[in-house]
Amino acid sequence: MRIPFSRFSAHPAFAAAAVNICLVLWPLQSLSQRLPATVVPTHYTLAFAPDLKAATFSGDESIDVNISQPTQLITLNAIEIKFESADIQYRDGGIQTGSVSLDTERQQATLAFPRTIPAGDATLHIRFTGILNNELRGFYLSKTARRSYAVTQFEATDARRAFPCFDEPAFKATYDISLIIDADDTAISNTAIVSDTPGPGANKHTVVFGTTPRMSTYLVALLVGDFQCTGARQDGVDIRVCATPDKVELTPFALGVAKFALHYYDDYFGIHYPLKKLDFIGVPDFEAGAMENFGAITFRETDLLVDPKTASIAVQRNAAVDITHEMAHQWFGDLVTMQWWDNIWLNEGFATWMEAKPVAAMHPEWNMPEEVEIDEQNTLDTDAQPTTRAIRAKADTPDEIDEMFDDIAYGKASDVLLMVENYVGTETFRKGVQAYLKAHEYANATAEDFWNAQAEVSGEPVDKIMESLIVQPGEPILSFDEPQNGNVRIAQERFFLNAGTKIDPDQAWTLPVCFKADAGAHACDLLLMAAAKFTDSASPPFFANAGGTGYYRTSYANSDRLALAAHAESDLTPVERISLLGDTWALAHANRLDVSNYLDLAAALKADSNAEVVSSAAGKIATIADQIASTKDERNELAAWIRRNYGPEYAKLGAPSTGDSPNTLELRTHLLDLLVTQGNDADLKAQAHRIAEKFLDDPSAVDPTLSHAALEAAAANGDAALFDRLQKVYETSADPALQEGALRLLVQFHEPALLERGLEYSVSDKVRNQDTALQLRRGLQSPQNRDQVWQFIKSHWDAVEADLTTDLGAYLVSATGNFCTDAARNDVKTFFATHPVPASDMALKHALESIDGCVELRRLQEPNLNAWLAAQGGL
């Protein structure tokens, strides 16, 4: 159908033009997927007419371009698009009709014109049609029991599935967008609605949006349906949180977070949020957690729509962090965008570094610094694998770009920023951030642009520090001799979790090393080479990662290590205690310490009053039970030690009360989980079952934070009646957090028949494809269920594969890294060799490395665990 554009209404050639299309196939090895820089877009005028019942759409676009040299060919991106016509108009009014050649491998379309197009400004006009797919990318259908919705997800390279475009981040342009939709539906896009008129045709209306700022194609957003919103105004900006009608009552939580964070960011960045409105939309089917579309942020419903009366602290905290992460992107990513995907960390690392700040200011009781430290420890473990990558790495194809969205881009980049911020000072670093943003607003930037701005503002060699951490893979370990005569010798080398990995002796980093001094102060020195001697400015006990912000592992002389363990509770902050636990575990994994050293440290911290410290310790105790203890007797003796050490700490907390702080609520939860899951405490299993039943009867009658752990324990030991209750919650609840929690538990049952039932349900049409891979991943993470889940995946691969989306397929592949035998490793490798999953090459390499590392860890540390258990009165 013809979508009228006032700009071209006087040119009948546009209405009559025909288009010739041919398909071009290229050898894979010759692919170069970057577009030529000779044609640059400056403005898009886009009109869409989606047909939700037919799952199709038609579109009409004009693209204002600047052509730097005469040409007959213009290449842009398109995939799953059918071209109806393609024309070009010059500034002098001349018009040509072009033919279209499609290159599906490159995801490109080349428009060929019969005569040479002169250099200068011109306007392309293209008519096209497409499908509303079910792949959760591009322009796609999202469904509820009542109806369908049309929504978009374009990052990283999927705008080309919705409209022909120059789909690279550096090709920024402005956009005028309109949608012709059903009369009863509404539409949301990046900017506010400027007109809404009836027609064309019966039962239709046309919604026109204001012109956007200059932005990249992947930030365009389109949503169509019966969304309902709640709103408020903050700092002159209209904020709305939108959902399907049955969930609109769950929007106030997000609205409160958004209001607080917008004011916080306006102040921090020194640049007012650049649009007049900011929408947050919960989408029923959504692959990622959220997407930072400029002015119209889309979310998986569980990451936006929260009921504080029934949501645990963790659920509330995670939703708040997701909201603030995407809001930070409005500056880092939307206002200033990386030049190319190899620097995606300039978007994701910055947003991850920034996300905790407004949440910590709004909810200091949520222990956000400790949460950040736990995340850093996980990232350090990831970065200690042999096949880790540099933060800035090659990414040319869509699959390579998809694989860049990993813990290195998010976690490591964020941790590096945190370390530099700690080194130069928070206010100095903030000024550097502001200088960087102001220099590149509405434009693109590189890594050098950022670290040069920080170096100029701070007067410190931030460029040298960041370059050493951005361009080379891996992480350092700093080994400290025992301080003598006021000096301490330091040596650095690359650290690997796997003991047998060969180390390159020439690899080194430029690092700020911060020593803990009196009264919480710290003094930082710059390590410029592989080894050095520093003045010992630390106060006893000697600790060389003050604040826990250093992106490195530490190894101390034995006397200093023992002194730290003895005084950790009294002399280190909670963040520093988490850092010490992480380093001790990493050294044990690498066979530089005995696993008993970790367990002794965990025992020394068993009475820690900080929930995150206990959670951190408990997580690795669970890993020891799974990866090192290979026999039932070993696990039973470890369980007995857990009950002896942690049971009294749980008892001290007593029953939940209305006066409990969030920290106390979470501490009780972590202890219950440890004692039931790893400690096999029969009395607490019965208590957990009672709590779970009460919660299912009335979620508002029981502390939701404790109920989460209770439900996990109850499901593991549950019967068919409990399974039925959880399935009913998933199918009938209007609360996304309750729905998702119940669904995940269906693959936690240890009874084989119930687990099989949960797995079959996970690949049925009752479960959204946004959840299938996550269900199976959850099952693979369970030591008791892992083998059965893997056999199910292999025997039901056609059903599993049909539900895998591009990004979530890699999540499933990576979860096979939970195995811990050579036989399992060979099975995983063989299976995926014949059943490849797109964009998962790196995930498979990491999984196989993880299995190898676990096999090695068990071989080296199981004898040490046995000796330690015997010394505790066990084996």
Sign of CA dihedral 111, 114, 118, 121: negative
The identity of residue 598, as a single letter, is Y
Q: Do 515 and 536 contact (CB within 8 A), yes or no? A: yes
| Burial classification of residue 165, based on how many CB atoms lie within 10 Å of its CB (0-12 exposed, 13-18 middle, 19 or more buried) | buried
Closest of 114, 104, 92 to residue 17, by C-alpha:
114
Both tokens of 59, joined, read: 């579109």
* 204 to 163, 185, 197: CA distances (angstroms): 22, 9, 9
Backbone angles phi, psi at 585, to 5 degrees: -65, -45
Nearest CA among 554, 580, 579, 553 for reference residue 566: 580
Strand partners, 711: none
| Sign of the C-alpha dihedral computed for residues 409, 410, 411 and 417 taken in this order | positive
If you count them, how many residues does the chain have? 875
Other residues' Cβ atoms within 10 Å of the Cβ of residue 707:
24
- Give the number of other CB atoms < 10 A from CB of residue 233: 10
Residue 653 CB contacts under 8 Å (≥ 6 apart), including other chains: 664, 667, 668, 671
Encoded tokens for 685:
């299993």
Whether 795 and 775 have beta carbons less than 8 Å apart is answered as no
Q: What is the rounded distance in angstroms from the CA atom of residue 765 to the CA atom of residue 731? A: 12
400's tokens: 């390579």
Rounded distance between C-alpha atoms, residue 648 and residue 610, angstroms:
16
- Report how far residue 248's alpha carbon sits from residue 84's, in angstroms, rounded to the nearest whole number: 40
Measuring CA to CA, how many Å separate 97 from each of 62, 499, 513?
14, 64, 64
Determine whether 475 is an active site residue: no
Which of the residues 84, 155, 287, 326 is marked catalytic? 326
Which is nearest to 171 in space by CA: 79, 271, 59, 38?
38
Active-site annotation, residues = 326
